[in-house]
Amino acid sequence: MKRFARCVLVAAVTALLAGVTACGKNPTTAPPDIPAPPARQPAISIVCSPTSGGKDTVVTVTVTIKDNEQEVGVFGMDLTFPPKMFDYTSVSKGSLTGNWAAVDGNEVSAGNLKIGGFKGSGTAVAKNSSGSIVVITFKVDGSSLSNGQQGQVCIKNYTDDITGIPPEPACATFTLTK
């Protein structure tokens, strides 16, 4: 009986070792490194809505940030647009700056806006946020342009708390339809 028990024990140990070896793993080997999640990439982007239209179409240009590495309590930027295609109408607060003291713009020359905002007693945009910081409204003119003409609206020269957030410049394209 002892001999039978010893044979069963040897067979069990042999099977166990064969199974570990067959898996190609050594029980003393550390598990492979688990890759870290991808790093957040701060970014500023711009989008036109709609992306095409004819005379008198109202176009909103929304500037968004995502994954900002610091709080944003003040910002500034320049925006350029084709003055033969668009008439500047207004600048308004975005979803992340709705309770700020001011977000405004000023047309400093044909096709060039200076835009900025500050929180005042409002709430700073928290780190790693995603949403809009400013919305610019235009009305399409384009009377001297041909059908299918494209124009770009671009933001650049970021200042204050958005300095260094890529891309710079960021552009959106609008197509005139007649």
Every domain of the chain and the residues it spans: 43-176
Nearest to 122 by CA among 104, 143, 141, 99: 99
Contact between 42 and 71 under an 8 Å Cβ cutoff? The reply is no
* pTM as predicted: 0.77
> 88-109: per-residue pLDDT in tens?
999 999 999 999 999 999 999 9
pLDDT in tens, the chain (178 residues): 555 444 444 444 454 444 544 444 555 555 567 776 666 789 999 999 999 999 999 999 999 999 999 999 999 999 999 999 999 999 999 999 999 999 999 999 999 999 999 999 999 999 999 999 999 999 999 899 999 999 999 999 999 999 999 988 899 999 999 9
Assigned CATH class of 43-176 = mainly beta
